[in-house]
Every structure is written in C-alpha cells, then in structure tokens.
Homo-oligomer: A and B are copies of this chain.
Amino acid sequence: LRNLANEAALLAAREDKARLDKEHFSQAFDRVLLGPKRDEVITSTDKRRIAYHEAGHALVAMIEPEAEKPHRVSIIPRGQTGGVNLFTPDELRIQHGISFFKAKLATLLGGRAADRIVYREPDAGHENDLRQATKLARYMVTHWGMSERLGPMSFRIGEEHVFLGKELQEPRDFSEGTAQVIDEEVSKLLREADERAYQLLVENRSTLERIVETLLVNEELDRAGLEAIVNQQPDFSVNGSTEPLADRPLIVKP
C-alpha cells in the first residue's frame, strides 16, 4: 500500500535518516493497521494533569454565559489528542456573533489556563487547543469582519481547496502591512480570551478541584454531573452574576 510507504517515510524522517529500512516498514505497518500506539499505562501524576486540563475546558464552558455547554468530559485516552474536540468551524458559521466566538476562544484556552494555575507553566499538551483557537481567531478577523481596525473586509489567507479533484492554492491577496495588522488583531483576541479563562478559573478554583477529583474517580462526567458540581459550589461566580446555564451542547470528546 502507498500509505504504508508514506508512514515508513515519515518514521524515517523523524529520525533524520535518508534511507528506509525494514524496521520502519514494520512500525508503519502497525500504525496503519492499529492506529498510533499509546502508552498503555499512564502514571497517576499524568492522569491528574490531564484531569486539570480537561476540567479547565469544561468549567470555562459551564461558566461563560455565551459558551456552548459540554455533553461530557473525560480523561480516558483515545486517539491522538487525548481529549477535546470542541467544534468544527464550518458548522458554526451561521447565526453566531462576536460574543459567542469570544466565549468559544476562552473555552478552548481553558485547559491551558488550568495548567498555568496549577502547574505554573504552559504545557506542550495544549498544542491542538492553541491551533484551533488561533484558527478561529483568524477566521473572526479575516472572514467574519469582527475586527474594528480591519473593518468590513475579507482576506484570503492562503488556504488550499480541493476543487474538481485537484488542489488550487490561492496565494495571500493582501500586503505585508495588512498582514501585520491581522496578526495584531488575532493576538489581541487570543490574549483577552486567555486572560478571561485564567481569571474565571482562579475565581472558581474550588469548583475546578471538585471536577478534577470526580474525574480521577469516575474518568468521565456528563452534563448533569457537571451541572451538579457547578451549581452546588458556594464560590460559583461569573463576575458576580449567577447566570442560568444556557443549553446549547458542547461536544467534549474524551
């Protein structure tokens, strides 16, 4: 299979080798058939770290009034990213305004915020969250006209489409100066969401701890379980208000 050859090539590339050997093909065979191997045993330290990360996402989503609410949160390892896939941008394109997406950004950065609060440093494990948040912020700025500085204008940001069975790469269609403003606007949205998520979790630290303890016992929590924990907490606060929870679903995959 061609796929097999590609996998083998990738493995070789990772080791910076110029030639393939049988070992690469053998490993590639396993990957193509069985999926990437995950360590079977996770230490309890790592489990706790994952739990804080996932709880961070979930709690920000529960608290932010405009955010979609999670169906379930889990720390069972599965697939590549180990936990959260919040949305597909295409599905969200219609009918949502800027505040909805700001809440989404805060939710996406909720895991990172929890890491920073508990472990005092950002964690390489949120790579995918960062990528998704950045992608969403770029869309808000370049496709949805949500930056005052850039105004009602659309920017083609070098995406590739598959069209009629071949790729058309459409190059960037704006100037370097505009690219700079776009970067600044995207950065501003992300910093604000990061700050917001951090602050929310600090204010609701004991709720965060309770979710983590429950996750370490049960490995999963559904919507009802999350609501029970959130509502019963004395320190639950959103800048002082106590919003009823909105009811749009947020898919939190384990």
Contacts and interface: CB of A to CB of B under 8 A. Distances in A.
Contacts of A81: 16
A144 interface: yes
A50 B190 CA distance: 29
B15 A152 contact: no
B191 A151 contact: yes
A178 B180 contact: yes
B14 A90 contact: yes
Interface string A82-123: 100100101011111111010000000100100100011111
A34 to B, nearest CB: 11
Contacts of A178: 180, 183
Contact of A154 (B80, B101, B127): B127
B99 A122 contact: no
A125 interface: yes
A218 interface: no
Interface of A: 2-3, 5-6, 9-10, 13-20, 32, 35, 46, 49-50, 79-82, 85, 88, 90, 92-99, 101, 109, 112, 115, 119-128, 130-131, 133-135, 137-140, 143-146, 150-155, 157-158, 160-165, 167-180, 182-183, 186-187, 190-191, 193-194
A119 B97 contact: yes
Given A19-B35, A178-B183, A190-B151, A124 B2 contact: no
A115 B93 CA distance: 14
